[in-house]
Amino acid sequence: MDVDWVGIARAERSLGGEQNLLLLKSKQRYEAGLLDEAVPDDDGEGLANGGWFSGPPGWMLFIEGLPEQMNPWIQQLADRLAAAGVEGTLTGARTVGPPAWATTDELMFGPRLNCLLGYQPVDGFWRLPGWGCGNDTLKQAVSHGIDWMCAQGGRAQDNINLRADFWVDPATAKQILIGQANNTNVSMSNSYQQERQEIREVDILRPGAVSLTSRAGQTDWTETIGEFRATLLQAPVERLSIAMISHLTWGSWLMSPIPGTDYFDRLAYKRFPDRWHEFTLDPCGIQILTDQHLTKANDLSGWTTTRLDEHHYLVEAKDLATWYATPLLKTDPVDPDLLAQARADFGGMILTHTTAEELDMTHKPKRD
């Protein structure tokens, strides 16, 4: 078993240190179980984050540890692989970009659809460097997102530390996202499905926002909305504050100057995620709201409302075509008349500047 230390160092530099994605290059075919048996366990404290997985270039293994731990551990792994009869070269995986078919202007810059989910943060969430809504909720949200991302057989890429993309399997994508989300503002993963001409993306945003994004070629909007609606209903709801299907990303929804909404109100909403279960900024054609939202509504007779559990409701426009039949860019506004009527229907659950002032949300929150 040869060790390509140059390739291993290159991969480590791509990831910024303390992480690496190893690649086994071999002309022979080996079972995952044989390779996993060769991984040093160090009494359960090994560097491997998960087991070997098969990617486009071959068998890969994601590891994490201090620089002084890495090379001796990798040499031990190579020795154990050789002892197990494995032949080849242990090196570092190379970074990858999107497939050529996925780089068209339509897919890169055209209309997209997003399933946005916001979760209720735990006490003291502002002290945490990343995700602030509890580890169990994070695991459930990441699992839900990656399962959707890979549901159509798309090949998964993880963006590690916002530095480099690597091919990964779904299980590894989940492990990497969970680890990164606890320590960073943003972590993301993509999948590419050439037959459907679709790119899917999962973004985990501090302190508790999740975005599932679909960028696809010419598709029937009813099919896309049907898939997203089913995905929305499968989302973990235990700490769910709000969720919606929108052409806007979280950043656009929170900060863009949509007609009828004051920029300041969006800043207040962004700064107080612990109040998302009480208010929203704008209606969408499909959303999940809480009982606290609905108690503030003006008139939802023009909407279909379905109870999901003790605290959550699915609220849908009776004519979804008016919201979703026309593809929109993330910078495009919703029809002003449609939005105005929806805002009137939603009433007091829409956060206004007056409400923000009354609730002392007109300043950057003071955190102890």
Would you list the domain boundaries of the chain? 2-92, 105-358
Other C-beta atoms closer than 10 Å to the C-beta of 82 total 15
CA distances from 197 to 103, 194, 214 (A): 11, 5, 10
Phi, psi of 26 (to 5 degrees): -155, 145
3-state class (DSSP) for residue 317: strand
The residues with which 280 forms a beta bridge, in sequence order, are 350
In angstroms, how far is CA 194 from the centroid of its own chain? 21
The widest CA-to-CA distance across the chain, in whole angstroms, is 72
Q: Check residues 320 and 32 and name the one with the higher pLDDT.
A: 320
- Asked if 3 and 78 count as a contact pair (C-beta separation under 8 A), the reply is yes
- Asked if 139 and 178 count as a contact pair (C-beta separation under 8 A), the reply is yes
Length of the chain: 368
Other C-beta atoms closer than 10 Å to the C-beta of 18 total 15
DSSP 152: T
Q: Which of 48-62, 146-160, 293-307 has the highest mean pLDDT?
A: 293-307
* Residue 5 confidence (pLDDT): 94
Judged against a pLDDT cut of 90, whether residue 277 lies above it is answered with: yes
DSSP conformation letters of 272-315: -GGGTTT-BSS--SEEEEEHHHHTT-S--TTEEEEE-SSSEEEE
With a pLDDT cut of 90, the percent of the chain lying above it is: 49
Q: Which of 163-177, 187-201, 214-228, 292-306 has the highest mean pLDDT?
A: 292-306
- Asked if 157 and 96 count as a contact pair (C-beta separation under 8 A), the reply is yes
With a pLDDT cut of 70, the percent of the chain lying above it is: 95
- Asked if 224 and 216 count as a contact pair (C-beta separation under 8 A), the reply is yes
The residues with which 113 forms a beta bridge, in sequence order, are 214
The structure tokens listed for 153 are 């057989």
Name the pairing type of β-strands 303-307 and 58-64.
unpaired
Q: 208-253, pLDDT tens digit by residue?
A: 999 999 998 767 889 889 999 999 999 999 899 999 999 999 988 8
Rounded to whole angstroms, how far apart are CA atoms 193 and 151? 10
CATH for 2-92? 3.30.70
> Average of pLDDT values for 23-42?
89
- Asked if 288 and 229 count as a contact pair (C-beta separation under 8 A), the reply is no
CA distances from 281 to 263, 270, 289, 312, 337 (A): 11, 10, 12, 18, 16
* Residue 331 confidence (pLDDT): 81
Rounded to whole angstroms, how far apart are CA atoms 264 and 257? 10
Q: 109-168, pLDDT tens digit by residue?
A: 888 899 999 999 998 888 888 899 999 999 999 999 999 999 988 888 888 777 678 888
Q: How far apart are the first and last CA of the chain?
A: 55
Judged against a pLDDT cut of 90, whether residue 261 lies above it is answered with: no
3-state class (DSSP) for residue 62: strand
